[in-house]
Structure formats: C-alpha cells, structure tokens
Amino acid sequence: MLHTGFDAADRLEPDCIQRCQSRVFTLFDKLGVPVNHIGVTMVAWNEQQVSTCESL
C-alpha cells in the first residue's frame, strides 16, 4: 500500500512519501510489478475526524 502522507503530523514522513511516489511507479513498471490505482479510502472514527475528512 502506498500512502499520500496527508495525515502525517511532521514534514519528514510526507516528504519521504512524496519523494518515493515520484520514483516508485517507474520502478514498478521496470520490474513488472502490477499496481492498482484505486484512489483513497478514508475512515473517520469520531466527529473531529469526520470534519477533517470532509475538508479534504
């Protein structure tokens, strides 16, 4: 599973994820690794998270 980093609290994690995203699909193609681009599924466990999901 690949991650966008939209819920990461600091900048290190999303920066690493974004750098990976810019390279990983080319590598998958080169290696013949199948990838399904399915979008995003977000789950809210409380009302505050519901508000956050709706704003994203």
CB atoms within 10 A of CB 47: 8
Give the per-residue pLDDT at 30: 96
- pTM (2 decimals)? 0.48
Residue whose pair of structure tokens reads 């590598």 in the numeric block: 27
- pLDDT tens, the chain, 56 aa long: 566 555 666 778 778 877 888 788 899 999 999 988 877 777 888 888 888 887 77
Give the per-residue pLDDT at 33: 94
Do 26 and 40 touch, CB atoms closer than 8 A?
Answer: no
Do 56 and 5 touch, CB atoms closer than 8 A?
Answer: no
Give the per-residue pLDDT at 37: 80
